[in-house]
Structure 1
Amino acid sequence: MADLIDIVTDRVEAERETLLARHRAAQARARPRPTAATPATACAGCGQPIPPARRQARPGSTRCAACQAAHEVRQARRHRTGV
């Protein structure tokens, strides 16, 4: 027979899964990403054309290499500081 801890743990896990699914759905609606079928040709960061070599190496890229590097630095900083 399941005790109270098991019941609460199951309920928390179910709620967590529900919230994650909602978050993923919201992210998908908020920022549709180009696919290999519809490649981005202009950088989302600077607006300059994404070089063909980058688009071939990283299909679906939305930023040029320089803007992507800067974006990753900002993301790492936010992750470390929580801002």
Structure 2
Amino acid sequence: MKSIVFGGVKFIFLVRGEKLPQAKIGNDYGGSYLIWPRKNGLWDVRWKWLDWQEITTQQFDDEHAAFQFAHEHHLKRMKKLGG
């Protein structure tokens, strides 16, 4: 697992077969994005504020594309919030 914090939001990246430890799911940031590879080889994204939410049904070809989608989602949220 690796993670980065950008703009007060945590982006968490898992590798194939890795589970997210419960201790890493806290609300100590302005939300979290989880990015991980599915069994079918495509990448998935979830957003968490209070609970994990599916923000798209789209799956992505690689980790970078999934991160780009999550980052754009974050920027749109910030724009709506006036930030």
Answer 1 or 2: which has greater strand percent: 2
TM-score between the two structures when normalised by the length of structure 1: 0.29
Bigger helix share: 1
TM-score, L = length of structure 2: 0.29
